[in-house]
Structures are given as C-alpha cells and as structure tokens.
Amino acid sequence: MKITPLKTKYKEIVSEMKKEFGYSNVMAVPIIQKVVVNVGIGKINKENDKIEELLVALEAITGQKPVKTRAKNSIAGFKTRKGMEIGVKVTLRGEKMWSFLDRLINVAFPRTRDFQGIKISGVDEYGNFSVGIKEHLVFPEISAEKTKNLFGLQMNIQTTAKNKKEGERLFQLLKFPFYK
C-alpha cells in the first residue's frame, strides 16, 4: 500500500494544531473524515453515451466506482421528477481519500487555467470545505485528446473540526492553495 506524502505530514499537522488550540488529547485534533466528489448531470440526462463517459472519467479521477444519485423531490422549475437520475458521486475515505487530496492540491489546482488560489470562504461554520472545478481535464488521469465532453466537479471535504477557525487552520496546514 502506497502512503501519500500528505498523510506522512499529518503527524506534524497534529502536533502543530495541538499546540495552537491547546488540545490535551491527540484525539481532539480535527481530522479529515471523507471527501465527496459530485457531478450533476442536468442537461445530459437523456444522453447515455455522455453519462457513460462521465462515469468512466470520474472513476479514473477518484479510483473508485461512482454511484448515480436520484432526485428526492419533484421540482417543476428544474424539470425534475422524484426518482430521476440527477447526478453521480463518489465518497472517498482512507488511502484513496489521501491520494485524491494530494493530487488535488499538488496537481489539479496548479493546472487550472489562470489559477490564483482558492477562496478560504469555502470553509463553512462547521469546518468543512467545499470547492468546485470547472473542467475535469485538470486531473492528470484524463487525456484531453480522448475527451469529447467537459464537465465540472464539486468536492466537499468533511472534517471533525468544531468551528470555522479550526477548519481553516487545518486546511492551511495541509497546504491548500488559498489566496489572501
């Protein structure tokens, strides 16, 4: 099993956060629980070939088989009915999560066109972080020549942080490229 560089730095992060926030126990230090990668299929709902390409690309990016999500309610304004397929998601934990985060921080974000950094305002009041990427081509697993359709990804990184300040500091120590 390959250990990612991000996970090896985590011990240093734990000791830094323990000093900074005055935790008496290592188990009180916030950690990342899971990463959910989501893609809405919206307008391509009836086009099975595009959905299949999306599933293959998402599996290549995350290393895990995606699951189709269905609408819980009917919404006339969005032309959705209850039970209709509206998206695809992958929930990552453990080594796959750390590997994905490492590639996201060190490869995908820097490859984004005109990248200046990400907004720290993506951290909510519970310390979780949400961010979107407009084109999935920024991941090295995706070949631009073989890709017919572009799609955006939404990522939600869930932590055990109790507030926004703890979450922001955790993501800063993990070297997320925030701009000031």
Extents of the domains making up the chain: 5-173
- Cα-to-chain-centroid distance, residue 107: 14
Q: Are 37 and 58 in contact (CB under 8 A)?
A: yes
| 4/100 Cα distance (integer angstroms) | 9
The residues with which 80 forms a beta bridge, in sequence order, are 75
Question: How far is residue 150 from each of residues 105, 119, 167, measured CA to CA in Å?
Answer: 21, 23, 31
3-state helix, strand and coil shares in percent for the chain, rounded to the nearest 5: 40, 20, 40
5-173 maps to CATH 3.30.1440.10 = yes
Q: Look up the pTM and report it.
A: 0.85
127-153 confidence digits (pLDDT tens): 999 988 887 777 878 776 677 777 888
| 9/7 Cα distance (integer angstroms) | 5
Nearest residue to 151 via CA among 40, 16, 47: 40
* 74 contacts: CB under 8 Å, gap ≥ 6: 80, 81, 82
Q: How confident is the prediction along the chain (180 residues), in pLDDT tens digits per residue? A: 455 677 777 778 888 888 888 888 888 899 999 999 998 887 666 667 777 888 888 888 888 999 888 777 877 777 777 877 778 899 999 889 998 888 888 888 888 777 888 888 888 999 999 988 887 777 878 776 677 777 888 999 999 999 999 999 998 888 888 886
